[in-house]
A and B are shown apart, each in its own frame.
Chain A
Amino acid sequence: MSPAEHGFIRRLRLRQLPVMIGLVVFWLMLWGDVTALNVVVGVVLAIIVTRVFYLPPVDISGRVNPWWLLRYLGYFLRELVIASFQVAFLALDPRGVPHSSFVRVKLRTKSDFILTMVGMTISLIPGSLVAEVDRYQSTLYLHVLNTRTLKDVEAMRREVRWIEELLIRAVGDRNDLRRLGA
């Protein structure tokens, strides 16, 4: 093994260390008990999982803005609660079933991580789910429940772009931040 190759593998291991620690802690949480056996089994499982289900490393900007992160979490939790009850009442509404739409939303980000986070957020908030993703165009195609008029469609588009902005300001990289300003 050449020295360069060796260094590369060591960097890869180092990068996987947080994932490994996270997996072991997760395993211990599931057992609700910290014993030597649990830790050993957890480490073995973490190694197997990261080898067998190998995923390419995620590019995270490393920048965190606590204020915008807090705003994002606040927005997300508020929407989660409100929309949960909205969809629940929609299901029970005696006036009939809702009309839905497929909405195309072009995002500004070029980061896979932000794109994924926006998609996850949209999908967790009731009333919308990601039906298709165009990664190269940074475009999400959403299925949106209860769109009575085209105004509702536009409102949804604005909402998604606002979620994107919150996420970019919270954890996005400099390039994405610049794209927001443009």
Chain B
Amino acid sequence: MIDWPLVSVIIFLPLIGALIILFIKEDELTSINIKWAALLATLGTFILSLILWLQFDYSNPSYQYEEKFRWFDDFNFFYHVGVDGISLFMILLSTFLTPLCILASWNNIKKRVKEYMLSFLFLETVMIGMFTSIDILLFYIFFEAVLIPMYLIIGIWGGNRRIYASFKFFLYTLLGSVLMLIAIIVMYRNTSSMSIEFLQGNYFSYNTQLFLWLAFFASFAVKIPMWPFHTWLPDAHVEAPTAGSVILAGVLLKMGGYGFIRFSLGMLPEATEFFIPLIMTLSIVAIVYTSLVALAQTDIKKLIAYSSVAHMGIVTIGIFLVNQQGLEGAMMQMISHGLVSAALFLCVGVIYDRMHTREIEFYGGLVQRMPLYATVFMIFMLGSVGLPGTSGFIGEFLVIVGAFKFSSYVVIGAAFGIILSAVYMLYLYKRIIFGTITNNKLADILDINTREKIILIPLAISVILLGIFPNLFLDPMRLSLEMIITNYEIANAK
């Protein structure tokens, strides 16, 4: 296959870009160079990550493109990276969204362009690093390092309450992840290994598993986020700049779901079995409650933020069904949500750049002035609702099919949430787009320009592609998911 360290190159290419940018002096004229350098670095990363997909061996359930070096001499910590079916699309999602984020902030970030681009490039490195690490310590380091650039992005370039939001984001997620550090050390103590691959062999006693599970739960439930640990999310989303929200919704929330699949299901199967009722209850509460809350929002970004929590509720249901349909559905829902919510935030960014407000009441009748915008917005809105033919449908459908095997109450809860999601999204769309223009300030608003087309059209295409050819995405991940399910069933059969 490939005899050069492709994964490491993908991880560190953005960082190299960042180092180059560090040496470009920033002033009025050169800030465009900084933007181009950042765009090229992220585009290069995206193209390289496409090679990962093209060369991917569908018949291999475990890690591919592995690289392993001894990192610490005294303990069994390795620099060990690789890609399997579960992480492949998470990596692609990160590398796909970052260049779009750079493009989205091309004109509206005016102060400290250099620091902004540095933060994004560093963020991309740690995101990809996190999804590719096979060593838990490496995973943890990347997992926590994500906080640094995100804290700066929200805090420096955010809205009015940005300081409150950035502190809440940082401390909330840090609190979750430090408990995971303790769990990781306990795991190491029991097995003398930090390899994710090795630890999936179920080595812990039942009681240890319960404590470890809770520690991991604390960190992933905050990250994904599950009700009632979601309160940081609306604040962070609303205050973050558009690109920050895109990465937050598109990739960072997936870290939680990814962690649940890898750690809770993969390593702690018996404890997972024990806690499934808890997860299901929390997820259903999340779906119904946050959908209702979303319905009452007056701020567009906040509405989409709450809808994210609801969609992530479907993801957690899917993951903890632990059957083929459920897991595949959860993965599809994560990919779909990564694209759709990112696109929705970008759409909000488009009108926010023009009008500098996100109040729903301010808008109305945009279809009169912005027909193209209305169209792409509709695609993403329908994707979020889960209309057949869009990406959202596949995920929700598979999760509901899987849930029938588990309990019909869960199905009722999930389906109710999906109906509510249609209610709040269509209602939002109606209020913003349809009708006649009542607000005079909107009279000469311009339709999306070329740059915005370049951002939104690839997203629209991939949302539809995902809806029509789901197998393109499901095939690579199928065997890896099957392996997790088999391990899980063997462990619980004992």
Same complex for A and B? Answer no
Interface residues in chain A, defined as those with a beta carbon under 8 Å from any beta carbon in chain B: none
